[in-house]
RNA sequence: GGAGAGGUGGGUGAGUGGCUGAAACCAACAGUUUGCUAAACUGUCGUAGGGGGUAACCCUUACCGGGGGUUCGAAUCCCCCCCUCUCCGCCA
């Protein structure tokens, strides 16, 4: 959520930035400023009237103490009128504040200067590419065939016990999952991230904190009886660990990592390219999160990108990094890099990580601040990245490393799997 | 789920209708003293909103788990909810 004072002081800049999202926010921004003006006016009126009432109460208190009951009663004249005035003004203020809040919730984050102009994913900009397309020959198979051939994952069973999009990992398939999770967590902790095991369900306040709510409730599984949401990513519980927290400047940056399953309804997005592991309702992911000093957040974003880059290199996967254009970027993000691994048999790129700087957009909602050198409160910048999401990594590992005899496990992973090949 | 106790500032903890935004102590920060460390002393020590000032700052309102209510006036009384602790029940 953008801060109103920031909007007021940087109106043109905000509008110009938001224009990259291919929508004109002029009317909304003007409305926000108008409502804020109204808010200030009402507040001033209420404040002075309340000060008056408070003064009268004080006088009554003194008169009562002195035993002057009649004098006290006299003071009460006019109080009712004043109280009615205050009550009316407060009701108006509540409406104004609510309208303002609702409007603010609808304004996405302002894209950073280097975010490319563009409407769709086609206009994203590739900024880095590593490795080569694997030579697989004519016998290459997509991962859903390999999975069946080597009995690694069972989609039918998952459908039986739960539903489509909930796979059951079996034998070496299950072991590969565990290996990847441990590998990713070890790499993250070695890079200084503290490991957490957060809850897999969160309350409504947490949903608002990181920006899933309002608006995106359709994307989360909701447990109505207990009013809880299944997390769509570890970003939600991890970042919310610092909701309503005031940090010391010396605490920054806070580096967290955690493995969790992620639950996504993917309502409406079940089109093409969803076979096998390409899109699931439940998947595993290791996430890295940082709370950063605003002056350092973009340097830290680079570090995080570097970290993810190394993971993919250690796994030996052909991949590229793209900078998302304004039209493709998430609501809460100011700058996002997506990582795409090559899928050798599908012959297309699969998104395996999304690493973003949210600047103060989440921190404002979270009320996560630190005291700066001048003793002033300042919002932190929040950042996060997948490091990494498993299913598409598995898909691309299986496809890229296949030959007639089986599937080769990358060296970095062998200590974790305990085997270096998957065979029949 | 049932019964009881309780939720106050960074922490401990006082405070049952007005002089309490909140004692005291601890922690923290700044300074004085000191050969260093320590100790002692002095001072500062919440957040947010509104108004004023170039600014240091000043005035004002709100906030004592959350939300309502009673009252001229609520941390203090009443109602609802949430959470924590103890005992009981249930259970991995």
The answer to whether strand B lies under 7 Å from the CB of residue A57 is yes
What pLDDT shows up at residue A267? 79
The answer to whether strand B lies under 7 Å from the CB of residue A310 is no
Q: How far is the CA of A15 from the C1' of B89 (A)?
A: 61
Number of alpha carbons in the 13 Å side-chain half-sphere of residue A396:
24
Distance CA A210, CA A278 (A): 25
| Interior angle at CA A202, CA A209 and CA A107, nearest 5 | 25
Q: How far is the CA of A239 from the C1' of B69 (A)?
A: 37
The answer to whether strand B lies under 7 Å from the CB of residue A56 is yes
The alpha carbon dihedral of A278, A283, A285, A289 has a sign of: positive
Q: Which nucleotides of B are covered by protein (CB under 7 A)?
A: 18-19, 47-51, 60-62, 72-73
Q: By C-alpha distance, which of A319, A308, A354 is closest to A335? A: A354
DSSP character string of A58-105: HHHHHHHHTT-HHHHHHHTTTHHHHHHHHHHHHHHHHHHHHHHHHHHH
The answer to whether strand B lies under 7 Å from the CB of residue A46 is yes
Residue A149 in tokens: 């051939």
Measured between its terminal Cα atoms, the distance across chain A in Å is: 53
Q: Give SS3 for A264.
A: coil
| Interior angle at CA A368, CA A367 and CA A372, nearest 5 | 120
Distance CA A335, CA A356 (A): 6
By the 10 Å C-beta count (0-12 exposed, 13-18 middle, 19+ buried), A33 is classed as middle
DSSP character string of A212-265: -TTT-GGGS-EEGGGTEEE-SSTHHHHHHTTTT-EEEGGGPSEEEEEEEEEE--
What pLDDT shows up at residue A334? 97
Task: Kindly provide the ipTM of the predicted complex, given to two decimals.
Answer: 0.85
Residue A231 in tokens: 């997390």
Distance CA A124, CA A116 (A): 7
Distance CA A301, CA A359 (A): 11
What pLDDT shows up at residue A78? 82
Q: How far is the CA of A380 from the C1' of B54 (A)?
A: 29
The answer to whether strand B lies under 7 Å from the CB of residue A129 is no
The answer to whether strand B lies under 7 Å from the CB of residue A181 is no
Q: How far is the CA of A250 from the C1' of B35 (A)?
A: 32
Sorted by sequence, the CB contacts under 8 Å of residue A318 that are 6+ apart come out as: A130, A131, A132, A133, A134, A341, A342, A400
Mean pLDDT of successive 10-residue stretches along chain A, which has 424 residues: 93 95 96 95 93 90 82 83 91 92 94 96 96 88 95 95 95 97 98 94 91 86 88 95 88 94 85 85 97 95 98 97 96 97 94 97 92 84 96 96 94 97 92
Distance CA A191, CA A402 (A): 31
Give the domains, in start order, of chain A with CATH numbers.
4-105 (1.10.287), 121-422 (3.30.930.10)
What pLDDT shows up at residue A272? 67
């Amino acid at each position: 959520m953008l801060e109103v004072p920031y909007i007021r002081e940087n109106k043109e800049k905000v509008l110009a930035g938001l224009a990259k999202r291919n929508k004109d926010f002029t009317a909304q921004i003007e409305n926000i400023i108008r409502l804020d003006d109204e808010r200030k006016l009402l507040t001033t009126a209420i404040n002075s009237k309340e000060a008056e009432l408070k003064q009268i109460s004080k006088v009554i208190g003194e008169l009562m103490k002195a035993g002057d009951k009649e004098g006290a009663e006299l003071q009460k004249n006019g109080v009712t009128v004043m109280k009615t005035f205050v009550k009316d003004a407060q009701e108006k203020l509540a409406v104004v504040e609510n309208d303002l809040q609702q409007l603010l919730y609808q304004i996405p984050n302002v894209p950073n200067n280097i975010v490319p102009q563009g409407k769709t994913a086609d206009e994203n900009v590739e900024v880095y590419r590593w490795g080569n397309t694997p030579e697989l020959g004519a016998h290459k198979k997509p991962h859903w065939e390999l999975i069946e051939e080597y009995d690694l994952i069972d989609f039918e069973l998952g459908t039986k016990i739960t539903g489509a999009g909930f796979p059951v990992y079996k034998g070496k398939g299950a072991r590969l999952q565990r290996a990847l999770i441990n590998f990713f967590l070890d790499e993250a902790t070695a890079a200084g991230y503290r490991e957490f095991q957060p809850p897999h369900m969160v309350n409504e306040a947490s949903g608002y904190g990181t920006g899933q709510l309002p608006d995106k409730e359709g994307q989360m599984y909701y447990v109505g009886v207990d009013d809880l949401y299944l997390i769509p990513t570890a970003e939600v519980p991890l970042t919310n660990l610092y909701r309503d927290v005031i940090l010391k400047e010396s605490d920054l940056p806070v580096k967290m990592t955690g493995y969790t399953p992620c639950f996504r309804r993917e309502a409406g997005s079940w089109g093409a390219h969803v076979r096998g592991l390409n899109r699931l309702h439940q998947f595993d992911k290791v996430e890295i999160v940082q709370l950063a000093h605003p002056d350092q957040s973009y340097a830290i974003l680079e570090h995080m990108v570097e970290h993810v880059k190394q993971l993919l290199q250690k796994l030996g996967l052909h991949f590229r990094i793209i900078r998302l254009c304004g039209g493709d970027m998430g609501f809460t993000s100011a700058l996002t890099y997506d990582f795409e691994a090559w899928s050798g048999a599908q012959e297309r790129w699969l998104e395996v990580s999304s690493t973003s700087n949210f600047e103060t957009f989440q921190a404002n909602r979270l009320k996560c601040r630190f005291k700066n050198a001048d003793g002033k409160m300042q919002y932190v910048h929040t950042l996060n990245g997948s490091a990494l999401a498993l299913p598409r990594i598995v898909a691309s590992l299986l496809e890229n490393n296949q030959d007639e005899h089986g599937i080769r496990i990358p060296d970095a992973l062998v200590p974790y799997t305990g085997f270096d090949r998957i065979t029949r």
